[in-house]
A and B are shown apart, each in its own frame.
Chain A
């Protein structure tokens, strides 16, 4: 097996860590995109070498998408803006939240952005077009921003059906298309919006979903971490059931599925929305090996108590390899990795700015 590359998007730049074959020893490149918020990173492994995307917030100078075809040695920004709202929308790109290659269409790449919108590229990510079907959705004008913004932060596709896609937005909820993006329907049945009056807590949409995860070989099973509430769907999002037995809290952001085991899922619970620290100030990853029916806390190799940093929605990932590597980064600027399904963790890199996003791959 070749080494892994771990891309860490932070509030003040991008850090790239590269490992040996065992994924236990790391070298860290100097920070790139200095003083810029790297809010999204994507790895398109359908290409050789992989194409790596960075959604960068350049402070005063606005957001942009850059890509690298040499594993982050050099970066390119297209002459025309890769992602821009068309004039008729009256909107302007505020932040790139997600970059996701399609599982079924070779040159298709999706981008989820703020304000709530989905963009689609058919040329490998060089130019994107607004998915008008979602933008024109009659619910859109009533969607509200979550604490992080009016973000479309999750895009899932299926290998067996290019017409199907799922997006998740804060605080609009989960929406699905079955016709290639022409029309979208909310898919939030069973998910609570706990801040609403008691008799209104299961609305059609408006939930504050934080992350949705899916195993590509079992697309009917979905996992969702919400703003209070952890859920599973076994029918592709038609309905959701709580999977919270054994969790110290139902609040959190991250949700990652094991690349070889569709029933194994990882999260990082936080105390509450009003106290976004690990429960009891203990740095713990929680893992379920039975589809969320039970959970166990994992801490071997993680920092000692007390630990007061959160893990954000995209700051946990897998490298997709077999055996799998798992990684997460915290708002204290620390990144940890595991190659034994979370039983033990090693430090990848520390002393970074707060971590917004972690993406990883094992590349040839």
Chain B
């Protein structure tokens, strides 16, 4: 099934400038695995090589933040939004 991954502005260069990327998968993990095939540079901005979400990356699935739960279900038309946490210096 196909979902929409919304790319934050500072990562759009990793997606050819696209604001959204079409991804497939029944869970957030599967969606990110699919992204790793389609756009590996973008995917590794979000997860490290172990498949762990980077500590200051936020992921919202249809508006609900799923910080640790990579098994969160994804349905057709789901919006997966990637955002940087308010952190840094």
B1-34: contact bitstring with A at CB < 8 Å (1 yes, 0 no)? 0000000001100000000000000000000000
* Of the residues B45, B50, B52, B87, contact of A58 by C-beta under 8 Å: B45
A364 on interface, CB distance cutoff 8 Å: no
Question: Are the C-beta atoms of A87 and B50 separated by less than 8 Å?
Answer: yes
- On whether A61 and B45 interact (CB within 8 A), knowing A79-B40, A80-B40, the answer reads yes
Question: Are the C-beta atoms of A62 and B48 separated by less than 8 Å?
Answer: yes
Question: Are the C-beta atoms of A92 and B40 separated by less than 8 Å?
Answer: no
* Of the residues B11, B41, B46, B50, contact of A79 by C-beta under 8 Å: B41
B88 on interface, CB distance cutoff 8 Å: yes
Max chain A Cβ within 10 angstroms of own Cβ: one of B11, B44, B46, B56: B44
Given the complex of chains A and B, what is the CA–CA distance between A77 and B42 in angstroms? 11
Given the complex of chains A and B, what is the CA–CA distance between A81 and B45 in angstroms? 11
Enumerate B63-89 residues with CB–CB distance to A below 8 Å.
84-85, 87-88
Q: Residues of B contacting A80 with CB < 8 Å? A: 40
Q: Residues of A contacting B44 with CB < 8 Å? A: 62, 64, 81
Q: Residues of A contacting B57 with CB < 8 Å? A: 60-61
Question: Are the C-beta atoms of B52 and A61 separated by less than 8 Å?
Answer: no
Residue of A nearest to B40 (CB): A79
* Of the residues B54, B85, B88, contact of A62 by C-beta under 8 Å: B54
- On whether A60 and B84 interact (CB within 8 A), knowing A79-B40, A80-B40, the answer reads yes
* Of the residues A60, A77, A92, contact of B52 by C-beta under 8 Å: A92
- Chain B's interface size range is 10 to 19
SS class of chain A's interface: helix, strand, loop or mixed?
Answer: loop
Q: Residues of A contacting B54 with CB < 8 Å? A: 60-62
Given the complex of chains A and B, what is the CA–CA distance between A79 and B56 in angstroms? 23
A71 on interface, CB distance cutoff 8 Å: no
Given the complex of chains A and B, what is the CA–CA distance between A278 and B84 in angstroms? 38
Enumerate A41-75 residues with CB–CB distance to B below 8 Å.
58-62, 64
Max chain A Cβ within 10 angstroms of own Cβ: one of B46, B49, B54: B49
- Chain A's interface size range is 10 to 19
Given the complex of chains A and B, what is the CA–CA distance between A81 and B50 in angstroms? 12
Q: Residues of B contacting A87 with CB < 8 Å? A: 49-50
Residue of B nearest to A83 (CB): B49
Minimum Cβ distance to chain A for residue B37 (Å): 11
Q: Residues of A contacting B46 with CB < 8 Å? A: 61
A300 on interface, CB distance cutoff 8 Å: no
Enumerate A230-254 residues with CB–CB distance to B below 8 Å.
none
* Of the residues A58, A59, A79, A92, contact of B49 by C-beta under 8 Å: A92
Minimum Cβ distance to chain B for residue A54 (Å): 15
Minimum Cβ distance to chain B for residue A94 (Å): 9
Residue of B nearest to A63 (CB): B48
Question: Are the C-beta atoms of B11 and A93 separated by less than 8 Å?
Answer: no
A84 on interface, CB distance cutoff 8 Å: yes
A90 on interface, CB distance cutoff 8 Å: yes
Q: Residues of A contacting B41 with CB < 8 Å? A: 77, 79
* Of the residues B10, B45, B48, contact of A92 by C-beta under 8 Å: B48
Question: Are the C-beta atoms of B45 and A62 separated by less than 8 Å?
Answer: yes
Minimum Cβ distance to chain B for residue A75 (Å): 11
A202 on interface, CB distance cutoff 8 Å: no
Minimum Cβ distance to chain A for residue B43 (Å): 10
Given the complex of chains A and B, what is the CA–CA distance between A92 and B53 in angstroms? 11
Question: Are the C-beta atoms of A93 and B48 separated by less than 8 Å?
Answer: yes
Q: Residues of A contacting B56 with CB < 8 Å? A: 59-60
Max chain B Cβ within 10 angstroms of own Cβ: one of A58, A62, A91: A62
Given the complex of chains A and B, what is the CA–CA distance between A93 and B46 in angstroms? 13
* Of the residues A61, A64, A77, contact of B11 by C-beta under 8 Å: A61
Residue of B nearest to A62 (CB): B54
A85 on interface, CB distance cutoff 8 Å: yes
Chain B contact residues, CB within 8 Å of chain A:
10-11, 40-41, 44-46, 48-50, 52, 54, 56-57, 84-85, 87-88
| Smallest CB-CB A-B distances: 3 pairs | A92-B48, A61-B45, A84-B49
- 11 A-B residue contacts at CB 8 Å? A60-B56, A60-B57, A60-B85, A61-B10, A61-B84, A64-B44, A77-B41, A79-B40, A87-B50, A92-B49, A92-B52
Known A61-B54, A85-B50, A91-B50; 4 more pairs at CB < 8 Å: A60-B85, A60-B88, A81-B49, A93-B48
